[in-house]
Amino acid sequence: MHPDQQPHPSRPVLSNGLLAICLAILMQAGSLGPASAQSTVKAVSLFDGKTLNGWKTVDPTHARLWYVADSAIRSGDGVRKIPANTYLHTINQYGDFEFRCLFRLSGNPATGMINSGIQYRSVLQGDSIVGYQADIGTGYWGDIYDEHRRGKLVGGDLSTLKRILKEDGWNSYIIRCRGNRHELYINGVKTADYTETNSRIPQRGVIAVQIHSGGAAQVEFRDLTLTEL
């Protein structure tokens, strides 16, 4: 070493044990590939914001009760009473998935029941639909209901949701189904966690949006997406 040169500061040296751990982590990361399998699956839009392409009414005579306005699927006008329960369903069927949307339910409770819901893993039987429903409306928020089959399966937990729920404003819904487990979230808050124990219940079906008969109501759905799991 030249007399005028200063020695370089020593660099940290990994012990054999620590080096082995680092190599193992790197090898494991490499075996996972660029991303996990779930992260490579992208959400697909179920609604183009302009038309009802990809959707049909369960009862063909109810086609006039569903329409598109302001980039949202709508039913009802908030003035006239809803004459009958009506459903608009996807043409495609889904099994394990995460469904997301924004929704708004409005109306005058003095005129009758103001209620809506989102059907999932549901099957069509003539002009009727049978299956799970993520419920919407006062007294039913976040419930899992089994439409035209077993009735209410689990009540929604509103202990946290009640602080942020906009009862007549826009809210978000997430429905997550994997195997026999069902999870519902409204505004990011879990309201229901249900495990199906009946192996005869179909684990695949359509998604549908509903408005309940009774009061002068209007329901709107927008930004409907689904990621298959």
**191 in Cβ contact with 185 (< 8 Å):** yes
**CA–CA distance, 117 with 136 (Å, rounded to integer):** 5
> 148 Cβ partners below 8 Å, 6+ apart?
125, 128, 129, 130
Asked, for residue 18, whether it belongs to a domain, the answer is no
The residues that bridge with 193 in the sheet, in sequence order, are 183
- pLDDT (tens digit, 0 to 9) for every residue of the chain, 229 residues total? 444 444 444 444 445 544 444 444 444 444 343 344 445 779 999 999 999 999 999 999 999 999 999 999 999 999 999 999 999 999 999 999 999 999 999 999 999 999 999 999 999 999 999 999 999 999 999 999 999 999 999 999 999 999 999 999 999 999 999 999 999 999 999 999 999 999 999 999 999 999 999 999 999 999 999 999 9
Residue 44 CB-half CA count within 13 A: 9
Q: What CATH number does residue 48 fall under?
A: 2.60.120.560
- 20 found inside a domain: no
On whether residue 220 sits in a domain, the answer given is yes
Domain count for the chain: 1
Token digits of residue 113? 């029941």
Identify whether 2 is part of a domain: no
144 in any annotated domain: yes
User: Model-level pTM greater than 0.85?
Assistant: no
Structure confidence at residue 60 (pLDDT): 95
Q: Is residue 31 part of a domain?
A: no
CA nearest to 142, candidates 203, 105, 191: 191
Say if 152 falls within a structural domain.
yes
Exposed, middle or buried by CB within 10 Å (0-12, 13-18, 19+), for 35? Answer: exposed
Distance (Å, rounded) from C-alpha 87 to C-alpha 129? 8
Q: How far apart are CA 102 and CA 214, in angstroms?
A: 23
Domain of 211, in residue numbers: 38-228
Give domain status of residue 7, yes or no.
no
Q: Distance (Å, rounded) from C-alpha 151 to C-alpha 140?
A: 12
